[in-house]
Amino acid sequence: MSDKVSIDSILGQINDPAIRIMAEHSLKTARKALDMSDYSRKQFVVEELHKILPRALKVRADNETA
Amino acid sequence: MKLHNIELVNFRQFKDRQTIDIATDSPRNVSVIYGENGRGKTGIFRALMFCLYGDKCLSQDELSGEQKKEGLNLVNEVALKENVGTSVAAQVAMAFSHQGQTFRIVRSIDALMKTDGAIVQSQGSRVELQQTDVTGNTQPIETDPDKITALIQEILNSRLRDYFLFDGERIERLTRNTKERREEVRQGIRALLDLDAMELAIAGLKSLISQIEKEISHKSTGELQRVTTIIADLNAKIEKLENAQELGSQELKRLVHKIHEISELVSENKETADKEKKRQELLKNSQDLKVERDALKREMAGYLSKGAQLVASELIEQLREELELRRHKGELPPNIRKEFVENLLDSERCICGTSLGHDHQQERECLLEFIKKHYTPGLGPESLDLLLSLSRLSSANTGLADQFNRLLTNNKKLGDEILELESKIKLLSDELQEGGTNIDDLIQERKKLEEDKRKLEREMDRQADDIVRAQNEREDLKKKSIVLEKQQSQVNSLVSRRILAEQTLEELEKIYNRFANAAKEKLAEKSTENFARLADDETKKDIKKISIDENYMLDVLNWSGQRRLGEISAGQRQIVSLSFIMALIQVAGNLEVPLFMDTPFGRLSGIHRDHLLDTIPKMASQWILLATDTEFTEVEAHALRQTNAWGKIYELVKEGEGTTRIVERDVHQFTPKRKSIH
């Protein structure tokens, strides 16, 4: 680990592309949601994850076919 | 992000338009804002926070909840006074570069002074974001406040705002061993390293999995439906418990904060606290005396039955003496019954065997004389019984009066003492009430809060156990459901979603744990390295390592690995804090922001100051040093000049009531007012 520690770089190293998409997206939306109220932030993350799931699954399916 | 300049118009003490250019060119990245207390050094940082985020107060401002909501008046009061009845705007513009682009953000707020002198400030502010192109032209690119906020958030997240400015007191506070400080360090690490975002992402994924499982439960049949329904119920239960835990944590924080506030209130007024302590002592003494008096009263009650006897004791004694005298004279029958003596005469033999027959006439005569003398009519045998009873009573009465007197005296003494104590207690209570703070109420409230806190902690422990039990049960059921799911194709799509979400969750949790531990280790390592640069040789002999434990608590270890934070001096603690702050900035990496330090030299010795002046410019991208004349003397100026990092110096000069002028000085020729206070 260099002096600068970044979660993004670690997430970028996840081998499975579907998991990587999900992980990166969940962190991105969580960062946005941190500025929201305590009550709505988690719901916002869940909604965003629901949206990204089909794309991640498609990447997984394409990958498996390939 | 690199800060280029700040332009202030009628902002706080800074009347009219005034500008500060910040030193940007490495290695000359240090700007000094120099001024005596009250000139507006912190106002420069305040201007920055207002410009970026619209903040009308800082976290360190000691304001009540309502005042924080309202915020401070940001418009220069002299300008307001010159324009009574007319709206005056305070404006802050800040030019900065980020990822190769140059921006300028301009924010303003209006206020008006009424004829009675009252100041009314508008709630909101106006903001505009401008961009400077390669030719140097600056054009507005955004005026929508929400969009500007979003853009600024991406450049410099507002959650990190508290980590751009460290004043001397806050620097020292970071290493204090209290729950609040630990929380501050923990929050700092979590926010700067994005751990809080990771935690939210993990929580979101858990919720997502719960929702998918609920859907699977609706769409499945038979045994799978039964199992998935139980899993969904367990999910709901776990989520409910986790939410309750979250709310509990918040409530716990509130309680701890409130208890702390009350304790501060109770202890901040030493005189009041001393009085309260004295009052509590007196209350306890009074209570002890009352207990003692109650015991005395119970003892006295035991003597009540003997009261009549005591009242008649004198008469009893007189009668006893009279009867005793008469017995002495032989007027009372002896203890031997008359029939007994007569029987001896009839049987003509004494109990000792001596004959009492007619051949022993002398002995017979003696007994006959005895009967004649003692059993004559007059006082009968009853008088003898009376004498015996009176003798017993008289003997029992001996000392009774003395004892009773002693009890009565003690009772009176205790009563007087209690009265005196109560009078003193009343006096102290009145004084405390007049002081406006009812300490007793505060202490009672704190006691109640502490009890609430204990109850809540017990409840939260119980919830945590329930969560673990439910999670274990759910894991067992999940294994079973996987087998069953394979048999039901209609839920396959949902199962694929759930599997991906679960895999992501597993991966994120793994990364989070690894990252959090690595970050803590890295922070400890960098803090120790920084400490080695900042501390003098003597301090380095005492402290060998800075550690950050699993609870994000800072500590220092001596040569033998023993924790020693509580034993080091305030100056050494300040060095430890500064080492940690620098480590945070180094490890966070993406935090290339100007570091403001307000009066950071307070408790530092000369060598520590020199090391700080030499080291921080090499670590921070920009260092803005807010210093008083007593902190920044010729010695510090000389040391900073030697580093070759000193780019700008501004002096804050008081012009008149409520007005400060920002005057740029030449770093090569600037002479601080004081030579040195060391």
pLDDT digits (tens, 9 = 90+) for B494-506: 889 999 999 999 9
Q: Do A22 and B518 touch (CB under 8 A)?
A: no
Q: Do A5 and B507 touch (CB under 8 A)?
A: no
Q: Is the pLDDT of residue B676 over 70?
A: no
Q: Of B542, B570, B517, whose CA–CA distance to B174 is shortest?
A: B570
Q: Which residues of A13-41 are buried (b: 16+ CB within 10 A; e: fewer)?
A: ebebebbbbbbbbbbbbbbbbbeeeeeeb
A vs B, Cβ pairs < 8 A, gives 112
Q: Is the pLDDT of residue A2 over 50?
A: no
Confirm whether A6 is domain-assigned: no
Give the percent of chain B with pLDDT over 70.
89
Q: Of B38, B41, B74, B42, whose CA–CA distance to B56 is shortest?
A: B74
pLDDT at B373: 73
Alpha-carbon span B59 to B68, nearest angstrom: 9
Q: Is the pLDDT of residue A50 over 90?
A: yes
A11 touches chain B (CB under 8 A): yes
Looking at residue B27, the DSSP 8-state letter turns out to be T
The more confidently predicted of residues B490 and B88 is B88
Alpha-carbon span B154 to B148, nearest angstrom: 10
A50 touches chain B (CB under 8 A): yes
- Average pLDDT of every residue of chain B: 83
Confirm whether A30 is domain-assigned: yes
Alpha-carbon span B249 to B243, nearest angstrom: 10
Reported as a single tens digit per residue, the pLDDT across A12-28 is 889 999 999 999 999 99
Give the range among B54-68, B438-452, B461-475 with minimum mean pLDDT: B54-68
* Residues in CB range of B324: below 8 A, 6 or more apart: B387, B391
B207 touches chain A (CB under 8 A): yes
Q: Do B198 and A7 touch (CB under 8 A)?
A: yes
ipTM of the prediction: 0.94
Q: What share of chain B is helix, strand, coil (3-state, %, to 5)?
A: 60, 15, 25
pLDDT at B648: 94
CB B97 within 8 A of CB B122: no
Confirm whether A57 is domain-assigned: yes
pLDDT at B671: 87
For residue B94, CA distances in Å to A21, B43, B287 come to: 37, 14, 67
Helix (H, G, I), strand (E, B) or coil at B603: coil
Dig out the tokens for B569 from the structure: 């001096």
Window B:252-281, CB contacts with A under 8 Å? none
B5 touches chain A (CB under 8 A): no
Reported as a single tens digit per residue, the pLDDT across B540-599 is 888 889 988 777 778 888 888 887 777 788 788 888 888 888 888 777 765 577 888 887
Contacts with B157 from chain A: Cβ below 8 Å: 31
CB B641 within 8 A of CB B60: no
Select the residue from B147, B208, B530 to test the A interface by mutation, using most A Cβ atoms within 10 A. Answer: B208
pLDDT at B589: 64
Q: Is the pLDDT of residue B402 over 50?
A: yes
CB B474 within 8 A of CB B238: yes
Mean of pLDDT values over B61-74: 76
Mean of pLDDT values over B300-308: 69
Confirm whether A59 is domain-assigned: yes
Q: Do A4 and B589 touch (CB under 8 A)?
A: yes
Residue A1 banded pLDDT, cuts 50, 70, 90: very low
pLDDT at B301: 73
The more confidently predicted of residues B403 and B487 is B403
The total of structural domains in chain A comes to 1
Q: Is the pLDDT of residue B66 over 90?
A: no
Q: Do B197 and A16 touch (CB under 8 A)?
A: no
Q: Is the pLDDT of residue B206 over 50?
A: yes
Confirm whether A5 is domain-assigned: no
Mean of pLDDT values over B69-82: 90
Select the residue from B193, B500, B506 to test the A interface by mutation, using most A Cβ atoms within 10 A. Answer: B500
Helices assigned H by DSSP within chain A? 7-11, 17-33, 38-65
A5 touches chain B (CB under 8 A): yes
Q: Is the pLDDT of residue B392 over 50?
A: yes
| Closest A-chain CA to B519 | A5
Q: Of B33, B34, B36, B26, whose CA–CA distance to B2 is shortest?
A: B26
Helix (H, G, I), strand (E, B) or coil at B8: strand
Alpha-carbon span B631 to B604, nearest angstrom: 10
pLDDT at B621: 84
Confirm whether A2 is domain-assigned: no
User: What is the domain extent for residue A44?
Assistant: 14-65
Mean of pLDDT values over B5-32: 92
C-beta contacts of B399-403 below 8 A and 24+ residues apart = B400/B303, B400/B306, B400/B309, B400/B310, B400/B313, B401/B310, B401/B313, B403/B303
Q: Is the pLDDT of residue B78 over 90?
A: yes
Contacts with A51 from chain B: Cβ below 8 Å: none
Residue B608 banded pLDDT, cuts 50, 70, 90: confident
| Closest B-chain CA to A40 | B204
Query: What sign does the CA torsion over B578, B574, B5, B144 have?
Result: positive
pLDDT at B378: 58
Give the range among B142-146, B264-268, B409-413, B515-519 with minimum mean pLDDT: B264-268
Contacts with A9 from chain B: Cβ below 8 Å: none
Give the range among B335-339, B415-419, B460-464, B608-612 with minimum mean pLDDT: B335-339
A52 touches chain B (CB under 8 A): no
Give the range among B79-83, B154-158, B267-271, B585-589 with minimum mean pLDDT: B267-271
Confirm whether A18 is domain-assigned: yes
pLDDT at B94: 94
Looking at residue B18, the DSSP 8-state letter turns out to be E
Distance from CA of A66 to the nearest CA of B (A): 18
Contacts with B501 from chain A: Cβ below 8 Å: 22, 49, 53
Give the percent of chain B with pLDDT over 90.
21
Query: What sign does the CA torsion over B494, B500, B504, B506 have?
Result: positive
Alpha-carbon span B309 to B394, nearest angstrom: 9
Distance from CA of A12 to the nearest CA of B (A): 11
Q: Is the pLDDT of residue B194 over 80?
A: yes
Alpha-carbon span B41 to B660, nearest angstrom: 10
| Cα Rg, chain B, nearest whole Å | 46
Q: Evaluate the omega torsion of the peptide bond into residue B381 and state whether it is cis, within 30 degrees of 0.
A: no
Burial of B184 (C-beta count, 10 Å sphere; 0-12/13-18/19+): middle
End-to-end CA, chain B: 37
Select the residue from A13, A45, A50 to test the B interface by mutation, using most B Cβ atoms within 10 A. Answer: A45
Q: Is the pLDDT of residue B666 over 50?
A: yes
Q: Of B473, B465, B459, B461, whose CA–CA distance to B235 is shortest?
A: B473
Confirm whether A44 is domain-assigned: yes
The more confidently predicted of residues B551 and B618 is B618
Dig out the tokens for B9 from the structure: 């118009």
B244 touches chain A (CB under 8 A): no
Reported as a single tens digit per residue, the pLDDT across B365-387 is 888 887 777 776 556 666 777 77
Alpha-carbon span B162 to B159, nearest angstrom: 7
Q: DSSP letters along B646-661, please? A: EEEEEEEEEEETTEEE
Alpha-carbon span B479 to B457, nearest angstrom: 33
Q: Is the pLDDT of residue B663 over 70?
A: yes
C-beta contacts of B402-406 below 8 A and 24+ residues apart = B403/B303, B404/B300, B404/B303, B404/B310
